[in-house]
Structure 1
């Protein structure tokens, strides 16, 4: 009967229950647990197993560039980091509110690391996440438009809770790229969150987008609902005496204009 029960549980893909039942069978004092307690243990193990599997799947689909997490973030470094605000960002409440986050700073200062750490945390909290470079995403859309897959790709992007766009505005956009980017941003307005990571200063984004009408429309939908993090200090890719985790940034409240307002 025990073997038959295990096989039936496996056929139902209740693998957490399978492992819990095998552990129960090996307990000398199993008889001290009544049926309800044993059943509760099986259900608890299956629930935890499914939750872990779901997190693993979300992280796999996120395609995060770096294996970064909040636990490895150095909050003690004196680089203008607002500890309270950074902890608040890692609660992911801003994603529930469909806010955005802009990460700017010189190359090597940890923008991608923090973006991936936030993406990791969002996946843990049950949000769907996708990391990509802006140029690669626009190329993928252009390729999809050669066939019939552009609509499906845009719908998938719109359904993602947190979209991470790295290397934002590294080169000037073409007319088709502006239109595609406008569609992406508009689909997410008040519906999803975006993290922008860029070494290009905010004041140069208008020029990189190109057309003034598109640039105003795109940035208006992002900037006014965004938190801003400006990373400072030397490149973390250089040999360091201490740890290598990105450990400092200046963080602003949601921006209301395009002017630079760095917290010291």
Structure 2
């Protein structure tokens, strides 16, 4: 078999996964027992896996998730009010296809950000674009972008990503510019994309955080009326881990 010319052609055509699999099979004496169809199936499977892993890696790098969380690692045993049936349903991702939102509320340390990142990781695995943003830093970046000409491009990115995670919402009241920026983001996303927002405050307190009643009504109408909700309770998991240590 002309192994080297075949490998060269596979690499030239960008079929890197197939090339690696071909090289391994050619060096494996047991592979001679495989039929042509089995050879081809193995090569195609390796190529698909290689492309999927590369695309997933790119999506995760773009997402910049705060935690390396995966839905398989979620702990449902802790006493924090996490509805297992609801979260498993959210993991499936149909709510993202429906362009719904998700609000995760609860005291500090109960795992809000971790759960949001786990859903973000699953969305990346499902070939969806994801972007994680801490709300205080997001508004600071938007203010800087307005001054250096990146504002429109950043707003387009925030509007187009299929799943936007807004973490640590409500740590401080919004000023006029932040209210405007948030409304523009949610207006671009409403009915087209999904947003996860995490907060230490209950949804009933969000109106006061926004401040301006007119803006508050407009923002919450686009964010909450089609949102699934997870309300967590209990002690800080960080404190429990520290006590165990």
Compute the TM-score of the two structures, normalised by the length of structure 2. 0.93
Unaligned runs of 5+ in 1: 245-264
Q: Residues of 2 paired with 1:97 and 1:189: CA distance?
A: 11
Q: Residues of 1 paired with 2:32 and 2:74: CA distance?
A: 46
Deviation at 1:63, TM superposition (A): 0.5
The residue aligned with 1:157 is 158
- What SS does structure 2 have at the residue aligned with 1:84? helix
The residue aligned with 1:72 is 73
The residue aligned with 1:185 is 186
Deviation at 1:102, TM superposition (A): 0.6
Q: CA RMSD in A?
A: 1.9
Q: Residues of 2 paired with 1:237 and 1:78: CA distance?
A: 14
Deviation at 1:29, TM superposition (A): 3.5
The residue aligned with 1:142 is 143
* 1:168 aligned onto 2:151: no
Q: Residues of 2 paired with 1:161 and 1:243: CA distance?
A: 39
The residue aligned with 2:24 is 23
* Conserved 8 A contact 2:170-2:201: yes
Deviation at 1:211, TM superposition (A): 1.0
Q: Residues of 2 paired with 1:94 and 1:145: CA distance?
A: 33
The structure where helix makes up a greater share of residues is 2
Q: Residues of 1 paired with 2:119 and 2:82: CA distance?
A: 16
The residue aligned with 1:218 is 219
Unaligned runs of 5+ in 2: none
In structure 2, relative to structure 1, the CA distance for the partners of 1:48 and 1:242 (3 Å cut) is farther
Give matches, 1:199-238, under 5 Å. Answer: 199-238=200-239
Deviation at 1:78, TM superposition (A): 4.5
In structure 2, relative to structure 1, the CA distance for the partners of 1:10 and 1:221 (3 Å cut) is same
- What SS does structure 1 have at the residue aligned with 2:239? coil
Q: Residues of 2 paired with 1:196 and 1:111: CA distance?
A: 9
* 1:114 aligned onto 2:115: yes
For residues 161-206 of structure 1, the C-alpha deviation after alignment (integer angstroms, 9 at most, x for no partner) is 1000011021111111111110000111011111111112222211
For residues 122-172 of structure 1, the C-alpha deviation after alignment (integer angstroms, 9 at most, x for no partner) is 111111111111111111111111132211111111111100001102111
Q: Residues of 1 paired with 2:66 and 2:140: CA distance?
A: 18
Q: Residues of 2 paired with 1:41 and 1:177: CA distance?
A: 53
* Conserved 8 A contact 2:63-2:130: yes
